[in-house]
Chain A
Amino acid sequence: MNLEKMKESFNKWKSDYNKKKDASKLRQKKFMSVSSYEPEPLYTPLDLQDFDYFEKLGIPGDYPFTRGVHNTLYRERLWTMRQFAGFGTAKQSNERYKYLLKNGQTGLSVAFHLPTLMGLDSDNPLSRGEIGKDGVAIDTLADMETLFDGIPLDKVSTSMTINAPAAILLAMYIAVAKKHGVAPEKLSGTIQNDILKEYIAQKTFIFPPEPSIKLIVDTIEYCSKHLPAWNTISISGYHIREAGATALQELAFTLIDGRTYVEAAIARGLDVNEFAPRLSFFFNSHNDFFEEVAKFRAARRIWAKLMKEKFGASSQRAQLMRFHTQTAGCSLTANQIENNIVRVTIQALAAVMGGTQSLHTNSMDEALALPTEKAVRIALRTQQIIANESGAANVIDPLGGSYYVEKLTDEMERGVMDYFDRIDRMGGVLSAIDKGFFQSEISDAAFRHQREIEKNERIVVGVNSYCDGNGEKGGGDILKIDEKVEREQVAALTALKKKRDNDKVKSSLERLKNDARSGANVMYALIDCVEAYASLGEMCDVFREVYGVYEEPPMF
């Protein structure tokens, strides 16, 4: 490469470009990414002059894993196609899971209804109107038995989106498996178990941050002894992005949350080389293709460096970041809903180009309601088309070496480090949550994004442009949850609470309280409780009593 020649031709190009720009010949005044980042119009070798291949990229499967976590990537095994699903009663969701598995899905992903996420039973007055609405209603082990009826838990991996009460749902899963005759060490799957992003963005918190982190470390410790193939946490940027964060904020806040969990586990005395291989991540994939690919690549590099340099992780498994991706729910429009199929395709392709380990593609109708079966099938087929027809899965990290993508990957890394410094100066993640730092960064970005759309600085097809009066409004079939679900769920719970051995329930809850008070690992007591058919709400009440509850100061 003759750099002098490159500089000369670049400068000539730049002056021609600027002439057109100054003469207002460009289509827009500003060209920006979904995250309001303004890229240069052209990237060249001049942007990568000091680029050290082995320092920045390495070979796929080798430190710093920028190019991917496997040396064969999708040539050996495709990503896991994992559609998040759950609604109504356990029986209805069980049928949806069987349908998805029959259609070629390779892993389950359970959505719980809001009362379960908030540690409330279906018969709690606060649960009224919410039963089975945006997830499946789980009150006791009996519901979990129905949910996984006829599903081979030794073969299928299950991801459960559960946070504040994650330890309880894990205990239930272990108990169901036991009834199926499947030993804990055979179980594979994930609990989301990431409470920090709840305070930051998703807001389904129950207890204060410190005891919540203690519960998480309990699950990490328990699984490292008994469930070696279980992902103990899915450190999530997804919800941070959905709440309005930029790609960079999503990445920075997620990684610093991850760092906080690693510090807590090390403080418990756990060995980083033992527990870190079971940490997993969960990212969003939005419309700006290159920005997303750069984000995924930077994520692996930053995490590997952090694990190796800061925490002294020596095994490769402890350094590499595995992640799940979901396409951006917040990018879906309620207008002209079929357009969402195209958005999801672009986003899913970015996730694959970014080397994801598993993927959920949203259904086109999710801006209106939970998806219909047909919409879910199209979403799954989208992944299958990318996997089998597009050629994207043939080559490892096919965008590696792109001047733009490498430059953007570097800038993501630098931006993350800047956020780390700012958050550390505030006293770390918990203190930044306390000060409302993340929350205000995110709501500023969300507001800016909305204003850009309203001022037509940002085009959203079918929303502020290209509205032709045909099909702007959704229409068509949507999935409705029958109000009967609420009555049935409450009746079943009431009957179960009468039928079970209530002395056993009482004594197991007593043990749970003692263990929670003493600071012992609560997993053992939780398994006792769930096997006695104590309800989720009863167990969470014990924790509420011992740990207290968290309330967020309202701000906007």
Chain B
Amino acid sequence: MSEKIKVLIAKPGLDGHDRGAKVVARAFRDAGFEVIYTGLRQTPEQIVNAAIEEDVDAIGVSILSGAHNHCFSEIMNLLKHNSIDDIMVFGGGIIPDDDVAYLKSIGVAEVFGPGTPTDDTVKFVKANVRKGNE
């Protein structure tokens, strides 16, 4: 891959806990990715529109408010609705194990909980991006 991988770091939900999103955004930038950060409180529509406009390879969704099931499923539906299958969606935040299983079942590639080294997230995205959603 010669071109830089482009990642949208997105912050849906009403919470303002942006520490994780910002740390991960910096880690991607340091690893040579092109990173766009949406800022706080983006609706699923805004996130998917931004991803399409910016033609990103992946969307990293950070959410700590508890509204993850709602936000992720909206994002996945909107991607499907727009017939987009080449944008990988991954996430992080305070997300219980049971919900992680659900999120994976709707097509979220991976969920990185508290304590995940940023290198793991970066490596995962590098290895799995541009493969198309199954």
Count A-B contacts at CB 8 Å.
Answer: 110
A130, B96: Cβ atoms under 8 Å? no
Q: Does A376 contact B (CB under 8 A)?
A: no
* Complex Cα spacing A114 to B38, Å: 19
Knowing A134-B66, A334-B113 are in contact, say whether A554-B118 is a contact too (CB < 8 A).
no
Contacts of A106 in B (CB 8 A): none
Contact code string A118-153 (vs B, CB < 8 Å = 1, else 0)? 101000001111100110000000000000000000
Contact code string A426-469 (vs B, CB < 8 Å = 1, else 0)? 00000000000000000100110010011000001001100000
Contact code string B9-44 (vs A, CB < 8 Å = 1, else 0)? 100011111110111011101000001011111010
* Complex Cα spacing A114 to B67, Å: 10
A129, B71: Cβ atoms under 8 Å? yes
A454, B39: Cβ atoms under 8 Å? no
Q: Which of A181-189, A473-481, A488-496 contacts B (4 or more CB under 8 A)?
A: A473-481
State the B residues within 8 Å of A (CB). 9, 13-19, 21-23, 25-27, 29, 35, 37-41, 43, 65-71, 94, 96-97, 113-115, 117-119
Q: Which of A361-405 contact B (CB under 8 A)?
A: 367-370
Contacts of B68 in A (CB 8 A): 129
Contacts of B70 in A (CB 8 A): 128-129
B67, A556: Cβ atoms under 8 Å? no
Q: Does A198 contact B (CB under 8 A)?
A: yes
Knowing A115-B14, A134-B15, A367-B114 are in contact, say whether A126-B43 is a contact too (CB < 8 A).
yes
Contact partner, A474, options B29, B65, B97, Cβ 8 Å: B97
B67, A130: Cβ atoms under 8 Å? yes
20 pairs of residues in contact across A and B, judged by CB atoms under 8 Å: A127-B14, A129-B65, A129-B71, A130-B14, A133-B67, A198-B16, A202-B16, A203-B18, A204-B15, A243-B18, A244-B19, A334-B113, A369-B66, A446-B19, A463-B115, A480-B96, A481-B66, A554-B39, A555-B37, A556-B21
Interface size on A, residues (CB 8 A): 49
Contact code string A321-359 (vs B, CB < 8 Å = 1, else 0)? 000000000101111000000000000000000000000
How close is A240's CB to chain B, nearest CB, in angstroms? 11
A333, B40: Cβ atoms under 8 Å? no
* Complex Cα spacing A419 to B28, Å: 30
Closest to B119 in A: A454
State the A residues within 8 Å of B (CB). 114-115, 117-118, 120, 126-130, 133-134, 198, 202-204, 242-244, 330, 332-335, 367-370, 443, 446-447, 450, 453-454, 460, 463-464, 473-475, 478, 480-481, 551-556
How close is B52's CB to chain A, nearest CB, in angstroms? 18
Contacts of B15 in A (CB 8 A): 114, 134, 203-204
Closest to B73 in A: A129
How close is A333's CB to chain B, nearest CB, in angstroms? 6
Contact partner, B115, options A130, A243, A335, Cβ 8 Å: A335
Contacts of B96 in A (CB 8 A): 368-369, 478, 480
Which of B35, B70, B71 has the most chain A CB within a 10 Å cutoff?
Answer: B70
How close is A490's CB to chain B, nearest CB, in angstroms? 14
Which of B66, B69, B118 has the most chain A CB within a 10 Å cutoff?
Answer: B66
Contacts of A198 in B (CB 8 A): 16
* Complex Cα spacing A551 to B16, Å: 12
Add 20 more A-B contacts to A333-B114, A460-B115, A464-B117 (CB < 8 A).
A115-B14, A128-B67, A129-B67, A203-B18, A243-B17, A243-B18, A244-B19, A330-B19, A367-B115, A443-B19, A446-B22, A447-B23, A450-B27, A454-B119, A473-B97, A474-B97, A480-B96, A551-B39, A556-B35, A556-B37
